[in-house]
Amino acid sequence: MNKLIAFFISLSLILMFSCKSSDGYKPNAGGKAGDMLIVIKQKYKDSEAGKLLKEIMSQPYWGLPQEEPIFNVQVSNYETLNDFMKTMRNLIMVNISPKVEADTILYYKDAWSKGQAMVRISAKTEKEFVDLVKNNEGQLISFFNNAERERAIKYYRKYINKEFSDKVRAKFGIFLSVPTGYKRIKEGKDFIWMEEGGVGSSEGIIIYSYPYMGRGTFLKESLLNKLDEVLKNNIPGPTEGSYMATEMMFPPIYKAIEVNGEKVAEMRGLWKVVGDMMGGPWIMHAHLDKVHQRVIVLFGYVYAPEDKKRDKIRQMEAVLYSYKVMDNEKDKKQPKKEKK
């Protein structure tokens, strides 16, 4: 009898799901942060085409102390594709066939599930597929990496530490989605340090500003010198005389990016504690406040010696991307919390 009841419950759920799907219902995207599924014909799974795509999506993430892949990639063939697999958060569908009219890469959001990022790559031959992927490697990685960041930004909008966000606004005139998990704060002149601490691990955000002195202010060396000065003066280590600093044995990665339409200098690297054994990855955004002719720096770091750090840095990046200048009273209102 119990088995019969279970059967009818299962059947009802299947029918309900099917009906909702036919009416445009989409489930939430499946998989954990960083998970990716590549769907390709069995004959190409272990060929140059299949190996190349997996290698590109599995290459090391930037600026971590231990090597971790950009995405956790699984490869499946079309013969085993099912409805559950179609809901994966990061999905690549490969079609190599002489019937393909033109070699294309098409990008989709929310195709089969809410929050999903999907790409369809089509090519007539394996060689043309390899050339197509090589020529679009950067765009492919950026599309999925941006999707991971957007999911994290959306999540943090729901859980903002209003007290800390208000302190940031009051001191710098900016909004930042400070997560509710942040419990400690230290303030100084043109400086705020907020930290979330667990057992044997911590994550922190440091914000500081200083006068803009011309284009040289945004040179890599200039930004690093100022960063080390701020860290030494404000972030002490666990032992007397120790302090936080950038680790120059592994030179930081510097590039120009855009945040909400504004050009920003981004750097990634490793930090250490001079006089102690602590360390980990960091990410920094340097903004130009044209109105007040100053530089506003957001510096996020992770300390997690026993854990992997890729997802933690991705989450930190999402917080930094929430930066917004509050230039009038209307903007000073906190964003409305989304319904769960």
Say how far apart CA 277 and CA 161 lie, in whole Å.
31
Say how far apart CA 294 and CA 217 lie, in whole Å.
10
- Identity of residue 275: G
The structure tokens listed for 43 are 């004959």
> Topology of 160-325 in CATH?
Protein Transport Mog1p; Chain A (3.40.1000)
Within 5-124, strands assigned E span: 35-40, 72-77, 90-96, 104-109, 117-123
- Identity of residue 231: L
Say how far apart CA 51 and CA 181 lie, in whole Å.
40
* Per-residue 3-state assignment (H helix, E strand, C coil) for 148-194: HHHHHHHHHHHCECHHHHHHHHHHHCEECCCECCCCEEEEECCEEEE
Regarding beta strands 253-259 and 262-274, do their DSSP bridges make them parallel or antiparallel, or are they unpaired?
Answer: antiparallel
Same CATH fold assignment for domains 23-154 and 160-325 = no
Residue 309: what pLDDT?
96
Residue 327: what pLDDT?
66
Please provide residue 124's backbone torsions phi and psi, each rounded to the nearest 5 degrees: -70, -40
Q: Candidates 3.30.379, 1.10.3470, 2.60.40, 2.40.50; correct CATH number of 23-154?
A: 3.30.379
Q: Give the domain ranges of the chain.
A: 23-154, 160-325
Say how far apart CA 280 and CA 326 lie, in whole Å.
32
How many residues belong to the chain?
340
Per-residue pLDDT tens digits of the chain, which is 340 residues long: 444 344 333 433 433 344 344 446 889 999 999 999 999 999 999 999 999 999 999 999 999 999 999 999 999 998 888 999 999 999 999 999 999 999 999 999 999 999 999 999 999 999 999 999 999 999 999 999 999 999 999 999 999 999 999 999 999 999 999 999 999 999 999 999 999 977 788 999 999 999 999 989 999 999 999 999 999 999 999 999 999 999 999 999 999 999 988 999 999 999 999 999 899 999 999 999 999 999 999 999 999 998 999 999 999 999 999 999 986 444 444 444 444 3
Q: How far is CA 67 from the centre of its chain?
A: 17
Say how far apart CA 27 and CA 86 lie, in whole Å.
10
Residue 200: what pLDDT?
80
Residue 75 DSSP class: E
